[in-house]
């Protein structure tokens, strides 16, 4: 982003942000969200004063120097949000505190706005470790009780929050995510070959990008791909499952090893941020048949790169993909197989979907997201 966006908000305010998730070498999920919002808010006019709180020294490109940004490294400790951040907020008195997740000090001295990325630990509790599940439920209950406003990243997530936590709909505001300008088709053939070599990718492939964990539904995707290849043994595509292990990944690993077409399944691990647009461009299509998503950013990033998407017909994914992809029942391996066939065997349809996907992706931007969230922050700021 290289232009300022005027916001009708009067004088600039001071916003305290729990920015720990953005302070990482490899950002995923909430970390990417937090990083993009920080950058987006700095392009507002007038820019707010951002007070970024982290618990380790800044890593990599955490935040470029800016007169409107104040980074404070607080000591790392168990119970950091309540024991360390809370007292600091009471000392510094910002106009508003923003948590990109659901971690809020018990005694915050200012108005609070939180983001709900998803509540899958409630909708699919068996897919999360017990300790994580209990911690997440306690954090969410505290955050929703304490928050003056709640941001949901999709209509689907808003419905979940209102239903599961009995939050009035008027207190939950939907702010869809954006997509970074760096996600665009990569035309440089040498760059595409470079990432193929780096990650040992096949020439043609169906791609999954994301964490390896149960709700991503990878065993069913693997089963569907095996069915597809059994029916179409001349098909040139392989299946690439790219991402780092999350939790409870053993079922996915067993599905890979027992797959009858194991030699056509590749697991390159985490794809570095700078390589992701090229990897997405190189793929024939993205398969994102998760059982539940709060938004589904990998689908949007693929669309921006001109890569058609096979996605689940539930949760937030229809909001993101719309009619520019193929939607399937994630519980039905036969339906997923049918979607794979439609994408991989019909090059004309694949090209049409790719073009439509790029146009749809252009309507999502982090500038819009930052502007919408800033307006919510100013509406409650003390």
H or E stretch covering 5? strand 5-6
With vertex at residue 302, the alpha carbon angle to CA 361 and CA 241, rounded to the nearest 5 degrees, is 160
Per the listing, tokens 């700021």 go with 381
Average pLDDT over residues 49-73: 91
Q: What is the DSSP letter of 82?
A: I
Determine the 3-state secondary structure of 253 from DSSP: helix
DSSP lists the bridge partners of residue 312 as 328
Q: Which helix (H) or strand (E) holds 348?
A: helix 347-361
CATH 1.20.120.530 at 189-361, yes or no: no
Name every residue whose Cβ is closer than 8 Å to that of residue 325 and which is 6 or more positions away in sequence.
299, 303, 308, 309, 310, 311, 353, 357
Q: Is the pLDDT of residue 10 over 60?
A: no
- Determine whether 188 is exposed, middle or buried from the number of CB atoms within 10 Å of its CB (0-12, 13-18, 19+): exposed
- Whether 5 has a pLDDT exceeding 60, the answer reads no
Work out the end-to-end distance of the chain between its first and last CA atoms, rounded to an integer number of angstroms: 29
Superfamily (CATH) of domain 5-178+365-380: Glycogen Phosphorylase B; (3.40.50.2000)
Q: Would you call 158 helix, strand, or coil by DSSP?
A: helix
Answer yes or no: is pLDDT of 235 > 60.
yes
User: Which pLDDT belongs to residue 260?
Assistant: 96
| Helix pair 30-41, 366-380: axis angle to 10 deg | 80
Which of these ranges, 39-43, 158-162, 226-230, 300-304, has the smallest mean pLDDT?
Answer: 39-43
Sheet containing 205-209, strands listed edge to edge, beginning at the edge strand earlier in sequence:
265-266, 238-242, 205-209, 285-288, 309-312, 326-328
pLDDT band at 1, cuts 50/70/90? Answer: very low
Q: Do 62 and 83 meet the contact criterion of CB atoms below 8 Å apart?
A: no
Q: Return the number of other C-beta atoms located less than 10 Å from residue 64's C-beta.
A: 9
- Residues 6 or more apart from 164 whose CB is under 8 A from it? 119, 122, 123
Q: Where are the alpha helices (DSSP H) in 104-249?
A: 120-123, 130-146, 155-165, 189-199, 218-231
In the DSSP assignment, the letter for residue 270 is P
pLDDT at res. 65:
80
Radius of gyration of the chain (CA): 21
Q: Residue range 320-349: average pLDDT? A: 97
| C-alpha span between 177 and 23 (Å, rounded) | 19
Peptide bond into 91 cis (omega under 30): no
Report the distance separating Cα 196 and Cα 43, nearest Å: 35
**Virtual torsion, Cα 164, 166, 170, 171, nearest 10 deg:** -80
Cα–Cα distance measured from residue 136 to residue 142, given in angstroms and rounded to the nearest whole number: 10
Contacts for 82 with CB less than 8 Å, ≥ 6 apart = 105, 106
Angle 378-380-382 from CA coordinates, rounded to 5°: 90
- Residue range 258-273, pLDDT digits in tens: 999 999 999 999 999 9
What CA–CA distance (Å, rounded) separates 342 from 105?
A: 49
pLDDT at position 199: 98
Whether the per-residue pLDDT at 63 is higher than 90: the answer is no
Q: For residue 150, which of 104, 202, 108, 201 has the smallest C-alpha distance?
A: 104
Q: What are the pLDDT digits (tens) for 351-371? A: 999 999 999 999 999 999 999
Query: What pairs with residue 18 in β-bridges?
Result: 53
Position 4 pLDDT exceeds 70? no
Same fold flag, 5-178+365-380 and 189-361: yes
Cα distance between residue 89 and residue 155, in whole Å:
31
Sequence spans of domains, the chain: 5-178+365-380, 189-361
pLDDT at 2 over 50: no
């Amino acid at each position: 982003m290289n232009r300022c966006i005027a916001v009708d908000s009067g004088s600039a305010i001071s916003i305290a942000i729990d920015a720990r998730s953005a302070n990482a070498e490899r950002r995923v999920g909430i970390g990417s969200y937090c990083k993009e919002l920080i950058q987006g808010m700095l392009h507002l006019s007038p820019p707010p004063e951002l007070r970024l709180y982290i618990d380790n020294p800044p890593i990599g490109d955490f935040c470029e120097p800016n007169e409107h940004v104040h980074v404070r490294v607080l000591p790392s400790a168990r119970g950091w949000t309540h024991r360390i951040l809370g007292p600091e907020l009471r000392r510094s008195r910002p106009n508003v505190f923003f948590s990109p997740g659901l971690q809020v000090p018990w005694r915050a001295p200012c108005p609070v706005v939180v983001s709900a990325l998803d509540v899958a630990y409630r909708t699919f509790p068996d897919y999360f470790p017990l300790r994580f599940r209990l911690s997440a439920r306690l954090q969410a209950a505290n955050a929703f009780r304490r928050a003056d406003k709640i941001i949901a990243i999709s209509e689907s997530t808003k419905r979940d929050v209102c239903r599961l936590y009995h939050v009035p709909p008027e207190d939950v505001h939907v702010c869809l995510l954006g997509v970074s300008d760096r996600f665009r088709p990569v035309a440089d053939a040498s760059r595409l070959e470079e990432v193929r070599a780096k990650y040992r990718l096949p020439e043609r492939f169906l791609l999954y990008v994301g964490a390896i964990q149960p709700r991503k539904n990878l065993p069913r995707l693997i089963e569907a791909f095996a069915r597809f290849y059994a029916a179409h043994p001349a098909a040139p595509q392989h299946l690439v499952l790219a991402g780092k292990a999350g939790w409870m990944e053993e079922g996915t690993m067993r599905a890979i090893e027992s797959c009858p077409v194991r030699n056509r399944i590749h697991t390159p691990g985490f794809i570095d941020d700078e390589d992701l647009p090229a990897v997405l461009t190189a793929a024939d299509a993205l398969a994102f048949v998760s059982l539940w998503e709060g938004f589904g950013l990998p689908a949007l990033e693929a669309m921006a790169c001109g890569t058609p998407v096979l996605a689940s017909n539930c949760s937030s994914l229809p909001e993101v993909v719309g009619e520019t992809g193929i939607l399937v029942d994630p519980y039905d391996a036969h339906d997923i197989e049918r979607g794979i066939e439609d994408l991989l065997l019909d090059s004309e349809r694949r090209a049409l979907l790719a073009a439509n996907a790029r146009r749809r992706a252009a309507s999502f931007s982090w500038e819009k997201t930052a502007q919408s969230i800033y307006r919510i922050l100013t509406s409650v700021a003390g």
